[in-house]
Amino acid sequence: MSSRLPKLVAFDLDYTLWDLWIDTHVNPPIRRVGNAINELRDRHNHKIAFYRDVPEVLHRLREGGVTIAACSRTHAPDLARKALGLLLVPPAAGHKDAAPTPAVQFFDQLEIYPGSKIKHFKELHKKTGLPYSEMLFFDDEHRNREVESLGVTFCLVSSGVDDRSFERGLAEWRKRHPVEVAEDASASAAADEDEDEGWTMNVHDS
């Protein structure tokens, strides 16, 4: 199976990366207690945290050179940005001695404001220059499937992003874009043929 990744992966925030509505369930001010990893508290001490698998998903995308975007239609954009700035993401597996990273540093693009997600993705397209076919979007609301009219691949997550839903989204994107995947395979095959030809010429020359 191809390991090719989209050039851009976008995530909704509420009930996609964290299990709450930032504009409804959270009472500011929000704060991080000391150096708590993946945990904030609001005025009433309610917890704000990414779903368990989200940190590793973010690390995987960053290591793969993928542009990461947040696309939220929340009515509390400033509070959402504040939460992303305060949340500390633990280091990647196998790098436990590394320092935690503020969540916002994983995101290359932040489109956080009320309104149709169509607008969010048109802005992403304008700012990044990437084609919609190279975009994969994870969201918990059916209505936001409308972005598919642009050519974005949409993946509905019912209980937040986890390893399984992430792989499902990747599989759907690869299924919809077999030409690109096939081109990758052809390039690899061509490289192998060139190696074989080089080896044969060396044998004949010796």
Each residue of 88-110: pLDDT tens digit?
999 998 888 899 999 999 999 99
Across 159-173, b (16+ Cβ under 10 Å) vs e yields ebbbeebbeebbeeb
pLDDT higher at 100 or 194: 100
How large is the average pLDDT for residues 37-50?
A: 97
Residue-wise pLDDT tens digits, 150-175: 999 999 999 999 999 999 999 999 99
Which of 133, 82, 139, 134 lies closest to 116, judged by CA?
139
Is pLDDT of 204 > 50?
no
Q: What pTM value is reported for the model?
A: 0.86
User: Which band of pLDDT confidence, cut at 50, 70 and 90, is reported for residue 41?
Assistant: very high
Residues with catalytic annotation? 12, 14
Is pLDDT of 203 > 70?
no
Percent of the chain's residues with pLDDT above 90: 81
SS3 139: strand
Confidence at residue 199, expressed as pLDDT on a 0 to 100 scale:
44
At residue 40, φ and ψ (nearest 5 deg) are: -125, 165
Residue-wise pLDDT tens digits, 123-159: 999 999 999 999 999 999 999 999 999 999 999 999 9
**Cβ neighbours around 145 below 10 Å, total:** 15
How large is the average pLDDT for residues 14-34?
A: 96
The two structure tokens encoding residue 61: 């995308």
